[in-house]
Amino acid sequence: MRALRLFEPGNVRVVDVPDPVAGPGEVILRTHATGLCNSDVRVYLGEKKAAAGVIPGHEMTGEVVSLGAGAEATAGETVSVCPILCCGRCSFCREGFRNRCPSRRTLGYDLDGGIAEYVRIPAPIVAMGQLLPMDRTVPSHLRALLEPFSCVLNSIEELGIGAGVSTAIVGGGPMGLLHLIAARAYGAGPIFVVEPEAERRAVALELGADAVATPDEAPTLAKELTGGEGFRAVAMAVGFAEAMPVALGVARRLGRINLFAGFPPGSSHVLDLNRVHYDEVKIFGTQNAPFHLYAKAARMIPRLSALDRVVTNRYSLADSASAYAARLGKAGLKSAVVIEP
């Protein structure tokens, strides 16, 4: 089959590799689409580790085409994948946090992922119900949003976003816009998006943000929008420490700030501890999502037509290496490698 390989940071190429074969309990998926994530780009830049020679891609959807002995899956079923391979027995797994398992491995980083014609799904992923059935009529580039949208739902729920919760989103890139779509679905408002690029601010307004601002304008406008208080929920959908003052500047007393994006290694921020003590601002992070939110995301995705606006760049498998270059250049929003629409 044809597949993209990550040889080393900065070097990805489409090559011929042997077709994967399903071992006991395993499944082979024929890939329909695989999304490219900012964390894939961070691997490409050498900021985040992945196994040398791995086939990247952890945001995949496809069709079950072959089953190994004893695999509990249905041939012909269309599924999206929760790509986390966990032990199932540690205290984190037992509490439902497969994403925090100390022996977690992830398809597309530690094991071959979805930027390929076929993907081998390890037995524990199959056995633990992590192939989520999806309606085949939902376009594949949207089904491939299962993993990123689950991560966003984790952020939304940890932030306590719900009906009438004032929400600020720092960063109007693909993940910021997915936060906007999810926050609207949860009934949040007003919703405020802070983003330096005019084009992205325009998309945020189009997708229903109540207001947008540049980082410089943000503190003043945040006060105007919230009667001087600031926002109850603040999602940091950008991974650079320089954005922390913006998040702190728009957060209300008792507000919650989630560091949703990963930072370059060694990032730090000097915090006025009295924001935490006297203002009771809660600062925390989320990474990936507990499994029940994958199941929720799988039910929500077919109902959210706005998601289509976020996946702007689609590539064939043959052109998949250029998807990285486009993400580096910030052209468009989210990218997906589409093999079968």
Helix (H) or strand (E) holding 53: none
Of 3, 29, 37, 84, the one binding Zn ion (CB under 5 A) is 37
Cis peptide before 190 (omega within 30 of 0): yes
Determine if 87 is a binding residue for Zn ion (CB under 5 A): yes
With tokens 């994948």, the residue in question is: 81
Shortest distance in whole angstroms from residue 219 CB to Zn ion: 31
Contact status: 323 vs Zn ion (CB under 5 A): no
> Kindly report the CA angle at 151 between 182 and 315, in degrees rounded to 5?
90
If binding is defined by CB under 5 A, does position 153 make contact with Zn ion? no
State the Cα–Cα distance between residues 243 and 229, nearest whole angstrom: 20
Size of the site for Zn ion (CB under 5 A): 9
Which one, 89 or 253, has the nearer CB to Zn ion? Answer: 89
> Shortest distance, CB of residue 100 to Zn ion, whole angstroms?
8
Interface region with Zn ion, contact rule CB under 5 A, candidates 32-40, 132-140, 170-178, 255-263: 32-40
* Cβ distance to Zn ion smaller for residue 104 or 120: 104
User: Looking up tokens 């601010």, which residue turns up?
Assistant: 201
Task: Please identify which residue in 43, 60, 71, 101 interacts with Zn ion, judged by CB under 5 A.
Answer: 101
CB of 147 to Zn ion, least distance (A): 5
- Residue 28 is which amino acid? I
Residue 112 is encoded by which pair of tokens? 């071959």
Residue 168 zone, left/alpha/beta (φ > 0; ψ -120 to 50; rest): beta
Question: Per CB under 5 A, does 183 bind Zn ion?
Answer: no
CB of 45 to Zn ion, least distance (A): 15
Would you count residue 20 as binding Zn ion (CB under 5 A)? no
Shortest spacing between CB 171 and Zn ion, in angstroms: 15
Return the bridge partners of 285, or none: 259
What is the Cα–Cα distance from 197 to 207, expressed in whole angstroms?
A: 16
Q: Which of 28, 93, 126, 218 binds Zn ion (CB under 5 A)?
A: 93
Which positions from 42 to 81 touch Zn ion by CB under 5 A, shown as an x/- string? -----------------x----------------------
**CB closer to Zn ion, 85 vs 251:** 85
Other CB atoms closer than 10 Å to residue 287's CB: what's the count?
Answer: 14
Inter-helix orientation angle 291-300/146-158, to 10° = 110
Query: Counting contacts by CB under 5 A, is residue 86 touching Zn ion?
Result: yes
Task: Closer to Zn ion by CB, 109 or 231: give it.
Answer: 109
Q: How would you label 238-264 residue by residue, b for 16+ Cβ within 10 Å and e otherwise?
A: bbebebbebbbbbbbeebbbbbbbebe
Q: Which residues bind Zn ion (CB under 5 A)?
A: 37, 59, 86-87, 90, 93, 101, 147-148
